C-alpha cells in the first residue's frame, strides 16, 4: 500500500465518525465554515525494517489526523461553543479508532507498545494561514 492509499482509507474512516462534516480526499486550499469540523490526515514519522526482516513488514508509520473544529476566536461565546464541540468530537474520534483493528483494505492499526494518542487541545491548529480550535489524533499503522 502507498502512503496516499492509506491516507485515503483513513480519510474515508474519518468521514464516517459522528460529528465530522468533511474529510476530503484531496487537500483543500482553505477550510471554509461549511467544511467544519474537518479531518485532514498527514503522514507522520515511520520506522523502516530492513528488507526481508520483520516477517515481510515494510514499515510502521504514525499517521496524524488533524481535526479542525472551529476558527480560533477570542470571543467568549464562540470559544465556549468551540470547546464544547471539540470535546464531543475528541471523544467520538477516540471511541471510533479504539474500536478499529483494521481500516480499509487490510490497514492494521498497531496495538501494544505503540498506542494511538491524541494531543488534546493544547494549541490551535494552523491551516492555510488560518488558526482553528481542534486536535490531533495519532494512529500507528503497520504497512503490510
Cα(110)–Cα(141) distance, rounded to whole angstroms? 6
pLDDT at 54: 54
Task: Give the least confident one: 48-57, 98-107, 133-142.
Answer: 48-57
Cα(120)–Cα(23) distance, rounded to whole angstroms? 20
Please indicate whether residue 104 or residue 2 has the higher confidence score (pLDDT): 2
pLDDT at 59: 73
C-alpha cell of residue 6: 492509506
C-alpha cell of residue 132: 482553528
Cβ atoms of 144 and 60 closer than 8 Å: no
CA distances in angstroms from 42 to 16, 88, 112, listed in the order given: 18, 22, 22
pLDDT at 52: 61
CATH 3.30.70 fits 3-116+127-143, yes or no: no
- The 8-class DSSP code of residue 22 comes to B
Helix, strand, or coil here: 15? helix
Tens-place pLDDT, residues 34-78: 999 999 999 999 887 776 655 555 678 889 999 999 999 989 999
Cα(60)–Cα(2) distance, rounded to whole angstroms? 12
User: pTM higher than 0.85 for the full model?
Assistant: yes
C-alpha cell of residue 111: 496495538
Amino acid at each position: 500500500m502507498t502512503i496516499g492509499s492509506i491516507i485515503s482509507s483513513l480519510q474515508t474512516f474519518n468521514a464516517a465518525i459522528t460529528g465530522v462534516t468533511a474529510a476530503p480526499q484531496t487537500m483543500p486550499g482553505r477550510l471554509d465554515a461549511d467544511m467544519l469540523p474537518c479531518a485532514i490526515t498527514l503522514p507522520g514519522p515511520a520506522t523502516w525494517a530492513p528488507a526481508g526482516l520483520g516477517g515481510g513488514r515494510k514499515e510502521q508509520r504514525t499517521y496524524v489526523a488533524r481535526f479542525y473544529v472551529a476558527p480560533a476566536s477570542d470571543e467568549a461565546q464562540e470559544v465556549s461553543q468551540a470547546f464544547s464541540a471539540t470535546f464531543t468530537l475528541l471523544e467520538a474520534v477516540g471511541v471510533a479508532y479504539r474500536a478499529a483493528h483494521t481500516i480499509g483494505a487490510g490497514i492494521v492499526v498497531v496495538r501494544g507498545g505503540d498506542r494511538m494518542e491524541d494531543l488534546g487541545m493544547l494549541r490551535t491548529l494552523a491551516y492555510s494561514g488560518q488558526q482553528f480550535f481542534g486536535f490531533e489524533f495519532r494512529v500507528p499503522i503497520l504497512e503490510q
